[in-house]
């Protein structure tokens, strides 16, 4: 009877193991047309992760006019695309497979206020969450941030994200909020200038939140492939180098270092599950 190995002339010969090559994957990522530059940091991170994943893979960004989050999720469900970028939510975590890497290491939840000159000084009196309730905040209708702010009992006025600057200029609310690293993007700086707005730099609202990549629940091999890439790129130090080289991230980290007396108001995120808060924080900036 043959065993799993043969003994020939005193030598143990192990059976030949065939290593199956990893099939090349083309990842298709939908983004709203005109927002490719805004999300270039995140799509660049995915390309970096693919370089460190086993096999030879590529990323194709599909730009679509008027792309809503609902349409994006439907495209993934229908198989028109195979990966998407979205802000964390319980629904996304439950319905899809999440790549467990917070793309900005939590900076997406570090928010500064953009305001008008006539309301600028009033923010000097805001020191805590109760004080913040006197300020009406503009926020995108589909942003998870809006749910977080509303859950904190704050005054929130929703609107299309691209219209918030005009709404603020016209006095529909007192301030709007953006992530710290987003404030140095060319498009945001142009909009702030165009609408005669100002950034208030003495107060930061912070909550646990970030963007993640997601795939369908039946795409476990693809999920594992991307996650392996992120883990390898992290261990190699490639992601840290990518962070340091990005103007927005570099600005955000310098800003936090240069403002040790910054007033910070911490809010909870009702969307965070036990898994996400426990498993993800190891990557976050404060760690």
Tell me the two tokens of residue 24: 């090349």
**Residue written as token pair 């629904």:** 91
Once rounded to an integer, what is the mean pLDDT over residues 263-284? 81
What is the number of H-type helices and E-type strands within the chain? Answer: 12, 13
Least confident of 10-24, 112-126, 268-282: 10-24
Q: How many CB atoms lie within 10 A of CB 173?
A: 21
**Residue 69's pLDDT is what?**
84
Q: How many CB atoms lie within 10 A of CB 260?
A: 6
Q: How big, in percent rounded to 5, are the helix, strand and coil portions of the chain?
A: 45, 25, 35
CA distance 209 to 174: 23
- Give the model's confidence band at 184: pLDDT under 50 very low, under 70 low, under 90 confident, else very high: confident
**Residue 267's pLDDT is what?**
96
- CA gyration radius, the chain: 23
Q: What is the pLDDT of residues 91-101, one digit of tens each?
A: 888 999 999 99
**Residue 18's pLDDT is what?**
38
- Give the model's confidence band at 287: pLDDT under 50 very low, under 70 low, under 90 confident, else very high: low
Note whether 214 and 94 are within 8 A (CB). Answer: no
Least confident of 114-118, 199-203, 277-281: 277-281
| Long-range contacts of residues 271-276, Cβ cutoff 8 Å, at least 24 apart | 271/88, 271/89, 271/90, 271/144, 271/147, 271/148, 271/209, 272/88, 272/208, 273/90, 273/93, 275/93, 276/88, 276/93, 276/98
């Amino acid at each position: 009877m043959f065993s799993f190995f043969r003994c020939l002339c005193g030598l143990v010969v192990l059976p030949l193991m065939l290593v199956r090559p990893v099939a090349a994957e083309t990842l298709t990522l939908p983004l709203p047309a005109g927002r490719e530059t805004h999300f270039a940091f995140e799509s660049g991170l995915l390309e970096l992760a693919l370089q460190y994943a086993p096999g030879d893979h590529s990323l194709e960004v599909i730009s679509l006019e008027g792309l809503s989050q609902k349409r994006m999720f439907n495209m993934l469900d229908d198989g028109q695309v195979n990966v998407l970028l979205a802000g964390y939510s319980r629904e996304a975590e439950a319905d899809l497979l999440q790549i467990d890497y917070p793309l900005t290491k939590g900076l997406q939840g570090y928010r500064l206020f953009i305001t008008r000159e006539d309301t600028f000084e009033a923010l000097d009196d805001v020191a805590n969450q109760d004080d913040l309730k006197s300020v009406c905040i503009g926020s995108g209708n589909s942003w998870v941030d809006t749910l977080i702010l509303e859950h904190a009992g704050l005054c929130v006025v929703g609107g299309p994200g691209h219209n918030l600057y005009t709404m603020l200029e016209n006095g529909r609310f007192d301030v709007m909020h953006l992530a710290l690293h987003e404030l140095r993007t060319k498009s945001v700086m142009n909009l702030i200038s165009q609408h005669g707005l100002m950034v208030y730099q003495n107060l930061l609202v912070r909550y646990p939140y970030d963007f993640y990549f997601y795939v369908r629940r039946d795409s476990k091999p693809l999920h594992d492939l991307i996650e392996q890439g992120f883990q390898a790129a992290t261990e190699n130090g490639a992601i840290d180098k990518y962070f340091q080289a990005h103007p927005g991230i570099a600005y955000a980290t310098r800003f936090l270092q240069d403002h040790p007396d910054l007033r910070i108001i911490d809010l909870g995120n009702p969307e965070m599950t036990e898994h996400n808060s426990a498993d993800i924080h190891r990557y976050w900036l404060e760690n």
